[in-house]
Amino acid sequence: MKHNVFNPASFVIAAACALTIAATANAAAAGDATANAASASTDAAQVARGAYLAKAADCAGCHTAAPRVSHPGAAPVATPPFAGGLGMGSPFGTIYTSNITPDPQYGIGRYSYDDFARALREGIAPGGKRLYPAMPYPSFAKITDDDMHALYAYFMHGVQPVAAPAPQTRLPFPFNQRWVLMFWDWAFAPKSQFKADAKRDAQWNRGAYLVQSLGHCGACHTPRGPAYEERGYDESASAYLTGGTNDYWFAPNLSADPGSGLGRSSATDIVEFLRNGHGGGLIPFGSMVQVVEDSTQYLNDDDLTAIAAYLKSLPPHAPSGFFNARSSAALQTVQALKTGDVERPGAGIYASYCARCHQMDGAGVPQKYPRLAGNPAVLSASSVSLVRLLVEGGGSPHTGSGPEPRKMPSFAGKLTDTEMARVLTFVRNTWGNTAGPVTRNDVSSVRGALHK
Ligand code: HEC
Ligand code: HEC
Ligand code: HEC
């Protein structure tokens, strides 16, 4: 199983400790040779731990360019990991990620440990270059020293150098003035490392640490303020993880709100969603697919359970949407859909285009197609993700332990804006779902922005 490669972090730590103890015991008797061999293995353990942490932080997800297609119709060719060049859409223009392989000229091969820690925590590269907060340094500020050392060891000794420059980011004035970011950093970026909450247990603290620092879940799931700052970096802020939109994907509310949040999802559902890409009938879509493929599927059981425990501890905030499977309206529509006796706009479109996968009762098919009844993403305040998914289609994640990936087709050429608005409004208000309607304008503004 692929996801086991980096799994036994605790084993690696234990091995490292054992080696250090052995080294101390043997050094005096056997002399320098043994001590050197032991420290080489300790380094190997450190590099392996760094590799696991790099998965938890999804460094590769952002720092690897999209597969290359040499000519139309050619098979896509994978690009080298960590060599940079992925274009990230921001409200200010496209920002390209850097080459972070240990190449001395084009990568970070000349970085000292302090350079590395400063770039990750403060967003300042050597020479004083301020990084755009598309690099999640406001979250990485919380990474502990131990983890930072392991990451550095991995990037210096475990990653293949790539001697090729990443494309230059060219934002229009005034956003090309990187020094201005000094004020942004001063006003918004958190500066202190993670501090454990003594009133909570070790599991909760581990989950909080992973979510807030390495996992940078808030970069997508926390709403942003007028200066693109995340409106909170931990549970002390009521807006933290209550849902945010980036690049026309809305990342839902992860607080305990029973409508569009995780209130009805169990900790086990969350663990399975993050590991297998299937949990409690939900399947990641949009930008969450990559998060599961590149990052969360590789986390070990303890870490996934800790993340779920932390998320389940967040009190409900920013309520929106409702679900009541037993409401009489819900039972009536299910009955009407079965007999084909429906007049609601959108019902006919659903029956012709969607029901073969998501089923007439909206329950989906386990391990294949997500349920839409009671699906928090369907009930979210924002419908941008739903429109984008309908327009572009999608596919469930490839994971080492989850079921075979399935496709959701694109409906761009099949449904008009009005029809999309109708079918989404129908899906958001059937089977016990209750959420705001989707208008033709909602659909056309997203399609216009996506040029699709
Ligand atoms: C969400 C996307 C994202 C993730 C995740 C991410 N980065 Fe970055 N990173 C960026 C972007 C974008 C830049 C370029 C920013 C700029 O040009 O101002 C960058 C820049 C950097 C730089 C500065 C390089 C230079 O000299 O220009 C370093 C070092 C770096 N990242 C390391 C890492 C490491 C290590 C990880 C994982 C622990 C990581 N990044 C995770 C987006 C990301
Ligand atoms: C690159 C942006 C991005 C990042 C980073 C991200 N997410 Fe998501 N997430 C999304 C989007 C978009 C969705 C909505 C689509 C879906 O339900 O899969 C989502 C959905 C989810 C859901 C399902 C919510 C629901 O109610 O259906 C969970 C749970 C989740 N994310 C957890 C996490 C955790 C934990 C992290 C950090 C380790 C994280 N996400 C990081 C974008 C992101
Ligand atoms: C061929 C099967 C198929 C058809 C037909 C189909 N879908 Fe999907 N749908 C999927 C799959 C697979 C996913 C998961 C997509 C992903 O992970 O990117 C999905 C995801 C979704 C989601 C996100 C829910 C979640 O938790 O992942 C919504 C909303 C949705 N579909 C609505 C529709 C609507 C509305 C239609 C009809 C216009 C439709 N689908 C037609 C297969 C299908």
Tens digit of each residue's pLDDT, the chain (452 residues) = 233 322 333 323 333 333 333 333 333 444 455 556 666 776 999 999 999 999 999 999 999 999 988 888 888 999 999 999 999 888 788 999 999 999 999 999 999 999 999 999 999 999 999 999 999 999 999 999 999 999 999 999 999 999 999 999 988 888 888 887 888 888 888 888 999 999 999 999 999 999 999 999 999 999 999 888 999 999 999 999 999 999 899 999 999 999 999 999 999 999 999 999 999 999 999 999 999 999 999 999 999 999 999 999 999 999 999 999 887 777 777 666 766 666 678 999 999 999 999 999 999 999 999 999 999 999 999 999 999 999 999 999 999 999 999 999 999 999 999 999 999 999 999 999 999 999 999 999 999 999 88
Coil, helix or strand at residue 363: coil
Nearest to 250 by CA among 309, 320, 299: 320
119 lines ligand 1 (CB under 6 A): yes
Q: Which ligand is nearest to the CA of 109?
A: 1
Tokens at 223, concatenated: 């709403």
322-450 under CATH 1.10.760.10, yes or no: yes
153 lines ligand 1 (CB under 6 A): no
5 contacts: CB under 8 Å, gap ≥ 6: 298
117 lines ligand 1 (CB under 6 A): no
Q: How many whole angstroms separate alpha carbon 83 and alpha carbon 263?
A: 40
pLDDT at 410: 97
Write out pLDDT tens, residues 424-442: 999 999 999 999 999 999 9
Nearest to 321 by CA among 432, 233, 161: 432
pLDDT at 37: 63
pLDDT at 342: 63
Q: Taking the domains of the chain in order of start, what are their residue ranges?
A: 2-57, 62-168+176-193, 322-450
47 contacts: CB under 8 Å, gap ≥ 6: 150, 153, 154, 157, 158
Beta partners for residue 251, in sequence order: 244
Q: Which ligand is nearest to the CA of 394?
A: 3
Q: How many whole angstroms separate alpha carbon 303 and alpha carbon 57?
A: 13
Q: How many whole angstroms separate alpha carbon 305 and alpha carbon 311?
A: 10
Strands (E), 64-167: 87-90, 93-96, 124-125, 129-130
pLDDT at 14: 33
